[in-house]
Structure 1
Amino acid sequence: MQGEKVISALIGLTGAVANNGKTEHTDQVVREAVLQLSDSSREAELVEKIHTEKHRIAPDCATCTHPCGNTSDYEIEKLRQAEKSVQDKKEEMLLAMKQYLSESETVPETVYRGIAYLGYDLEPESYEEIITELQMSCR
């Protein structure tokens, strides 16, 4: 999957958002990161932006001595170990997010939920719900 480090960081950012809310910059950081997932030359820069935003949202998490894992970057190896049908649906969901964000300046809750879903091995139908919501919003 392209942009694995960015995806890993985005999953951690969505955990911070779920627990603490967004700043005025969060949507733009998420939008830029999702749209640039395939640009490997920007991967380190995007991860840095995501981490900076995550630390704005949840500053104590950066120095926590007993991290709970809610805002940690996702262990991308878990993504690689998922069943092929789940990996395919996650790829399809990422494409739907990119398509939506390429046509809209707003970042809806559906995108944040989709990013969070990337961190779980759910039934393929769960990913399909996000895909459908995004596709319906593009029309």
Structure 2
Amino acid sequence: MPELLKAPVTSAQQARDTLLGALVGLARATTSEPKTVNTDEVLNAGLRLAAQPDAPEEKLARMLSIVRAEKHAVAPNCASCAMPCGNTNDYDLARLWSAPEPIRPLKLQMLSAAFSLAQRHPRGEAQTAIYQVLFTLAEDWDEALLLPVAENAQKLCAE
């Protein structure tokens, strides 16, 4: 598991967590709205950048703007919705860092797999697995529900 998968201490690490939270929101937006031609690449580029332990805070902030613009393109009405459901909200990674055992390590394995898959410029099943992992991070599922998602992502990493 990458060393960067730990609770943030520096402002750059906090920016990374904010970017990851926005990527989760973008992935979740695609469950109810169609992706644009750019969505997959924006999502994967954001994950590739977030996986860099030395990513500069300025680059993370620029990518955050790109991800949020893409989420607005995918789900334009969410930003001004009179009755927001929260389904496309950015994920607060503080929830991940404070998750109990064995949930936190399992979700960190899933996130590590998403980083690995994004490095390969995925298509098809691998791309679908990235969306599934990011969607699942925001869910308060137990180990039995998380395990198949983690196993599928890890299987695709091994291929």
TM-score > 0.5, shorter chain as reference:
yes
Q: Which residue number corresponds to residue 118 of structure 1?
A: 137
Match 2:127 to one of 80, 90, 108: 108
Distance in 2, matches of 1:76 and 1:101, equals: 19
- Which range moves more in the overlay, 47-56 or 3-12? 3-12
Match 1:53 to one of 53, 70, 75: 70
Match 1:130 to one of 146, 149, 157: 149
Q: Which residue number corresponds to residue 22 of structure 1?
A: 35
Query: Which structure 1 residue ranges, 4+ long, deviate > 4 Å from structure 2?
Result: none
Check the 8 A contact 1:11/1:116 in 2, yes or no: yes
1:71 aligns with 2:84: no
Q: 1:77-116 counterparts in 2 under 5 A?
A: 77-106=94-123, 108-116=127-135
Check the 8 A contact 1:14/1:112 in 2, yes or no: yes
Q: Where does the alignment leave 5 or more consecutive residues of structure 2 unmatched? A: 1-5, 7-12
Q: When the two structures are aligned, how many residues end up with a matched partner?
A: 139
Distance in 1, matches of 2:63 and 2:47, equals: 10
Check the 8 A contact 1:30/1:50 in 2, yes or no: yes
Query: TM-score w.r.t. structure 2 length?
Result: 0.77
Residue type of the partner of 2:127? P
SS at 2:42's partner residue? helix
SS at 2:110's partner residue? helix
Distance in 1, matches of 2:116 and 2:80, equals: 36
Q: State the Cα deviation string for residues 117-137 of structure 1 (Å, max 9, x = none).
A: 111232234333233223332
